[in-house]
């Protein structure tokens, strides 16, 4: 404490300034911990880059423009769901119903358009509203009935999937039977050489940009982090945490419903039998992106990277000729490592 800054205490006492700086010398490992703590995107980006390098060595086709475009298309739906999932996990919650809301919304949109003959745009809007309502229902249960998010969404997961079967009668609706707008998200927006980008990917990226902004630059974003970090502290600081939580589940529902539209474009159909793996895949992407399952910590950009890691691994292992059954093992190991690192970073010392 060599430099005593001017000013300080006005009273005449022994300590002229209130100086709290007494950080001991850190070991190299502690420095790594600090760097990772201060830059949560670093870890996920490193994994993504290493994976891309490794797979491009393993397969000459991996780095081709066409293949990278395919990876982007493959991750679009999961990335969208993972965006909503990120918001929920940031509040120290978890959304097991993400996939169910997505699939059920797509079934509702398609059935409203084809069975009820509602115009495509209107059917989409109704589907978006219903998806939002499903998210809001989760939020209502979490905030008003005070149930843990895990239990709430475990229950609604079951409810939405079952209603999904009732509404769809387990029938897939083909894209050709729907109004064109409903599968428009699957069509190519632009091409750069062999690298083609669908409208769905563009919508997904725009949503990431929007929520990146909202979380970093608005009071709502700060309140989401504070609520997830320490809900009691947030409440004492005057934040209406119930409102924050409700808004997060509601917005997540809307994001999943947009995901439903993107899903129909990707599959060129609305199928009630997809999506069972979407929940866990979305959580995987969030965790790989460095967002903490304990809440209050994470970035939506990390989730985008996390979703890309999943996509790169699935695609790369396939191109490298690894049996598809090993994909799960690879992703699983990554998840465990990511969570382990998160725990370690959280223990960062003052």
Partner 1 sequence: MSQPSLEKDTPGTGVREPVLQAKGLVKRYGPVTAIASGDLELYPGEILAVIGDNGAGKTSLIKALCGALIPDSGEILLDGKPVHFRNPMEARLAGIETVYQSLAVAPGLDIADNLFLGREERKAGVLGSVFRMLDKKHMRSEAKRHMSELGVATLQNIGQAVESLSGGQRQAVAVARSAAFGSKVVILDEPTAALGVKEGNRVLQLIRDVRDRGLPVILISHNMPHVFEVADRIHIQRLGRRSTVITPQSHSMSEAVAIMTGAAEPPPHVA
Residues that bind partner 1 (CB under 8 A): 1, 5, 7-11, 13, 15, 17-22, 34, 37-38, 213-214, 217-220, 222-223, 225-226, 228-230, 232-234, 236-239, 296-297, 348, 350
Tell me how far, at minimum, the Cβ of 41 lies from partner 1, in Å: 15
Which of residues 38 and 65 has its CB atom nearest to partner 1 in the complex? Answer: 38
Tell me how far, at minimum, the Cβ of 247 lies from partner 1, in Å: 13
- 108: nearest Cα among 280, 253, 277: 253
Tell me how far, at minimum, the Cβ of 297 lies from partner 1, in Å: 5
Q: Are 123 and 283 in contact (CB under 8 A)?
A: no
Which of residues 14 and 145 has its CB atom nearest to partner 1 in the complex? Answer: 14
Quote the tokens at residue 121: 């745009």
Tell me how far, at minimum, the Cβ of 134 lies from partner 1, in Å: 26
Q: Are 316 and 48 in contact (CB under 8 A)?
A: no
Can you tell me the distance from the alpha carbon of 95 to that of 42, in angstroms, rounded to the nearest whole number?
26
Tell me how far, at minimum, the Cβ of 89 lies from partner 1, in Å: 13
Tell me how far, at minimum, the Cβ of 246 lies from partner 1, in Å: 17
Tell me how far, at minimum, the Cβ of 250 lies from partner 1, in Å: 17
Tell me how far, at minimum, the Cβ of 148 lies from partner 1, in Å: 21
Which of residues 219 and 325 has its CB atom nearest to partner 1 in the complex? Answer: 219
Which of residues 38 and 63 has its CB atom nearest to partner 1 in the complex? Answer: 38
Which of residues 11 and 25 has its CB atom nearest to partner 1 in the complex? Answer: 11
Which of residues 296 and 311 has its CB atom nearest to partner 1 in the complex? Answer: 296
Query: Computed over its alpha carbons, how large is the radius of gyration of the chain?
Result: 23
Which of residues 200 and 295 has its CB atom nearest to partner 1 in the complex? Answer: 295
Which of residues 236 and 325 has its CB atom nearest to partner 1 in the complex? Answer: 236
């Amino acid at each position: 404490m060599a430099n005593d800054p001017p000013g300080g205490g006005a009273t005449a006492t022994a300590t002229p300034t209130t100086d709290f700086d007494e950080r001991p010398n850190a070991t190299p490992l502690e420095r790594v911990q600090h760097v990772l703590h201060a830059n949560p995107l670093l870890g996920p980006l490193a994994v993504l880059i290493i994976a891309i390098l490794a797979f491009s060595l393993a397969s000459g086709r991996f780095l081709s423009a066409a293949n990278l475009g395919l990876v982007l298309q493959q991750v679009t739906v999961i990335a969208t769901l993972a965006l909503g999932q990120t918001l929920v996990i940031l509040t120290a919650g978890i959304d097991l119903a993400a996939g169910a809301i997505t699939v059920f919304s797509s079934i509702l949109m398609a059935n409203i358009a084809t069975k009820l003959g509602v115009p495509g745009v209107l059917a989409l809007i109704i589907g978006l509203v219903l998806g939002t309502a499903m998210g809001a229902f989760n939020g209502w249960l979490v905030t008003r009935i005070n149930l843990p998010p895990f239990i709430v969404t475990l229950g609604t997961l079951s409810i939405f999937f079952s209603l999904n079967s009732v509404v769809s009668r387990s029938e897939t609706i083909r894209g050709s039977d729907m109004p064109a707008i409903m599968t428009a998200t699957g069509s190519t927006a632009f091409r750069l050489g062999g690298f083609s980008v669908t409208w769905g990917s563009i919508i997904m990226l725009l949503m990431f940009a929007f929520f990146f902004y909202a979380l970093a630059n608005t009071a709502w974003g700060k309140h989401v982090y504070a609520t997830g970090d320490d809900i009691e502290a947030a409440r004492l600081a005057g934040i209406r945490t119930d409102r924050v939580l409700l808004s997060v589940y509601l917005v997540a529902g809307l994001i999943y419903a947009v995901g439903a539209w993107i899903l129909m474009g990707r599959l060129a159909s609305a199928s009630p039998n997809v999506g069972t793996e979407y929940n866990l895949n979305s959580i995987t992407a969030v965790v790989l992106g460095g967002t903490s399952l304990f809440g209050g910590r994470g970035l939506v950009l990390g989730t985008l990277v996390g979703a890309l890691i999943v996509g790169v691994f699935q695609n790369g292992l396939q191109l490298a000729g690894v049996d598809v059954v090993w994909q799960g093992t690879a992703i699983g190991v990554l998840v465990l490592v990511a969570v382990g690192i998160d725990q370690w970073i959280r223990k960062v010392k003052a």
